[in-house]
Amino acid sequence: MPTWESNKKPACALICVGSELLRGKINTHAASLARRLASIGLELTRETTVADDAEALTASIAQALSNFDVVFVTGGLGPTFDDLTREAAAAACGRPLRRSPKLLAGIAHKFKKARYLHMPPANARQADLIEGAEPIENSVGTAPGQWLATGAGSQRLILLPGPPSELNPMCDDFVMPRLRRLFPVRPQEQAHLHFVGVPESVVDHRLRPLIEQAQKSVRSSRGMRMDFTILAYLGLVDFDLFVSAPARRTARQALRRLVKKIRTKMGGRFYGMDKDYPLQKVVGDLFRRKRISLAAAESCTGGLLSARLTEVAGSSDFFRGGVVSYSNALKRELLGVSEALLKKHGAVSRQSARAMAEGARRAAASDWSVSITGIAGPSGASATKPVGLVYIALSGAARTQVRKFLFHGSREAIRERAVTAALDLLRRV
């Protein structure tokens, strides 16, 4: 069994459990966990996805425990027949499961609090702890996690539920503080930079010389280390920096110098740092700070932009509302887009986008408005208007501006990219 030495980083592995993850469901656990580990100076070095199969899962956990200092297992802690993580982990450790009366009472209380008459009998399984494990409180769901010291040394097995809304708070409140104490590292400073409207490859190309120069200087500085990660999603790129040094002040100064160079290099593509995230929050903060109002008119995005804006608390301070004018009839009746304009230029056109934005601003009596019209596909395209063609208009008291975009990808990707582009235009206003 591996043991940790203070002069080297512990090796961390992640096992994601769930047949649905092997059938196309998007799995964000690796990116989320890797970022949290990096924030405390640790590194995720392997990620494995395993189906809901008891034998395969037991073998995967046993293998990970023989090679890694910290093993995370996410998913499979529910009450149903295909939730096998507890049993598989117990078998891999050679320990029995013990039902905790305290956990069982807590789970039953959650059902009572939610006004269910009775807790289903199957949920009692969620109170089964591996012998010697410490429960990790789940404030959102009914599945507690488990923290287990597997033997001599600092090795830990950590079981966590699959839903991010449950897993992430448990990591932040319990797991990361424990790991920080268990594996103390040199003082570290970090920064998370957010970019929009630029491909990951372009960010890499622009920043690579700065990174190489910084790493070269670090190699000549005794006891200093720099780590970088990059993560992209449909027009958004997150770039994370981690600097450790014998003295925190040294790490902080080195980080600030590099952040300043990166922001200068990326220019307007930089939209926020650290907690200035996500993009809709940054936009909302700007509108609130300037005390100006906004309305929206959407066609191909079907209200997705309005949903993004209103998912941030306090959006009612600036957002008047939105119109989903999917049909031409609603474009005419609610937004005042003329029949003649629609016949001449079509619903997906620069002219329609302009008229939709101006109509939304009039209807809502707002300072600004934004409109989106396009072809998300897979049908509806023509020789002159391909799938992915999107027009976005911004209308203010003095002017209306329209931008043309040609996005690629699935219907979902095109809609997401259109919303991101609209938010970025609002930010730049």
Q: What is the DSSP letter of 10?
A: P
Confidence of residue 7 (pLDDT cuts 50, 70, 90): very low
**In this predicted structure, what is the pLDDT of residue 182?**
93
List own/partner pairs for 272-280 with CB under 8 A and 24 or more apart: 272/193, 272/194, 273/191, 273/192, 273/193, 273/194, 274/191, 274/192, 276/194, 277/192, 277/194, 278/194, 279/194, 279/196, 279/236, 279/420, 279/423, 279/424, 279/427, 280/308, 280/309, 280/311, 280/312, 280/423
Phi, psi dihedral angles at 28 (to 5 degrees)? -105, 5
pLDDT (mean) for 264-290: 95
For the chain, what is the domain count? Answer: 3
- Show which of 221, 243, 273 is a domain's final residue: 273
Residue 3 domain-assigned (yes or no): no
pLDDT at 88: 98
The set of residues, in sequence order, having a beta carbon less than 8 Å from that of 428 and lying 6+ positions away, is 268
Residues 392 and 254 in one domain: no
Quick check: 45 and 12 in contact, CB under 8 A?
Answer: yes
Q: What is the CATH number of the domain that holds 246?
A: 3.30.70.600
pLDDT digits (tens, 9 = 90+) for 225-276: 888 888 888 889 999 998 988 888 999 999 999 999 999 999 999 999 998 9
106-113 long-range contacts, Cβ below 8 Å, gap at least 24?
106/144, 107/142, 110/142, 111/142
For residues 174 and 200, state if they share a domain.
no
Q: Which of 149, 182, 215 is the last residue of a domain?
A: 182
Higher-pLDDT residue of 70 and 39 is 70
Shared-domain flag, residues 394 and 338: yes
Q: What is the pLDDT of residue 130?
A: 97
| Domain end (from 217, 244, 273) | 273
pLDDT score, position 184: 85
- Which ranges of 184-313 would DSSP assign to H, the alpha helix? 200-219, 248-266, 279-290, 304-310
Q: Are 156 and 286 members of one domain?
A: no
Tens digits of residue pLDDT in 11-51: 999 999 999 999 878 788 998 898 899 888 888 999 999 99
Q: What percent of the chain has pLDDT over 70?
A: 98
Answer yes or no: is 349 within a domain.
yes
Q: Is the pLDDT of residue 279 over 90?
A: yes
pLDDT in tens, 371-395: 999 999 999 999 999 999 999 999 9
The verdict on 267 and 326 lying in the same domain is: no
Considering the chain, what is the average pLDDT of its residues? 93
pTM of the model: 0.75
In the prediction, which pLDDT does 228 show?
87
pLDDT average, residue stretch 333-337: 96
**pLDDT single digits (tens) 152-190:** 688 999 999 999 999 999 999 999 999 999 998 777 889
Same domain, 247 and 319: no
User: For residue 349, what are its two tokens?
Assistant: 């056109």
Question: What pLDDT shows up at residue 167?
Answer: 95
The whole domain housing 320 covers: 279-428
Phi, psi dihedral angles at 15 (to 5 degrees): -115, 115
pLDDT tens column, 297-314: 999 999 999 999 999 999
319 and 229 assigned to the same domain:
no
In angstroms, the Cα distances linking 193 to 54, 211, 238 are: 41, 14, 6
